[in-house]
């Protein structure tokens, strides 16, 4: 087991970190969890470890950047920018969210989750692939796999969503 994930490395620090002195007034837990996730991915996909202190410092920086961006975004929207509104959809529509991660070593991780308002999560899955040429290809393969899962499970009314602006 890596020294990064041994008990006592950063848990006490994170739980007792004075967030107001770090300039963060919102929930820090999400940022720490994101830091753990990206640290894990870096260890698995790139064989690079990150110390617990560095991970917490990165999470703190990301939280500050996010808060600053939200303040700037609010100002821009008040000046006349129109936000994106989601269309209304019926409760029988199943939403499928897809995402992918890609490394320069041409390894990709794909993920998808089917859910709707009335039934919650129907199913979810993930897949790791080698020899993927680009991040866009990884995103497209995640979407394709989700569509194939929907077809195999006879889901008929599906709204496929991705965070990729290029797809």
Report domain extents, the chain. Answer: 7-78, 94-162
Find the mean pLDDT for residues 50-73.
79
Q: Tens of pLDDT along 83-129?
A: 556 666 677 888 899 999 999 999 999 999 998 877 777 788 999 99
Residue 74 CB-density burial (10 A; 0-12 exposed, 13-18 middle, 19+ buried): exposed
**Measured between alpha carbons, how far is 32 from 55 in angstroms, rounded to an integer?**
8
147 vs 46, which has greater pLDDT? 147
Q: How many CB atoms lie within 10 A of CB 112?
A: 24
Determine the pLDDT at residue 119: 75
Determine the pLDDT at residue 14: 46
81 vs 72, which has greater pLDDT? 72
The single residue listed with the structure tokens 């990206």 is 38
pTM of the model: 0.50
- Give which of 6, 117, 97 is closest to 51, Cα–Cα: 6
**Measured between alpha carbons, how far is 109 from 145 in angstroms, rounded to an integer?**
12
Strand order in the sheet with 94-102: 120-130, 107-116, 94-102, 158-162
Task: Provide the CA 118 distance to its chain's centre, in angstroms.
Answer: 24
Cα within 13 Å of Cα(163), Cβ side: 9
CATH 3.30.420.10 is held by the domain 94-162? yes
């Amino acid at each position: 087991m890596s020294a990064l994930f041994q008990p006592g490395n950063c848990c006490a620090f994170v739980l007792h970190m004075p967030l107001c002195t770090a300039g963060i007034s919102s929930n820090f837990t999400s940022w720490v969890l994101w830091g753990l996730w990206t640290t894990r991915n870096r260890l698995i996909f790139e064989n690079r470890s990150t110390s617990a202190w560095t991970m917490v410092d990165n999470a703190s920086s990301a939280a500050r950047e996010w808060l600053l961006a939200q303040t700037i975004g609010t100002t821009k929207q008040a000046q006349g920018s129109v936000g994106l509104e989601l269309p209304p959809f019926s409760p029988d529509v199943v939403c499928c969210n897809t995402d992918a991660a890609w490394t320069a070593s041409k390894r990709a991780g794909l993920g998808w989750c089917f859910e709707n308002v009335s039934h919650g999560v129907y199913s979810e899955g993930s897949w790791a692939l080698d020899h993927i040429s680009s991040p866009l290809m990884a995103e497209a393969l995640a979407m394709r796999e989700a569509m194939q899962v929907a077809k195999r499970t006879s889901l008929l009314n599906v709204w496929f969503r991705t965070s990729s602006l290029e797809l």
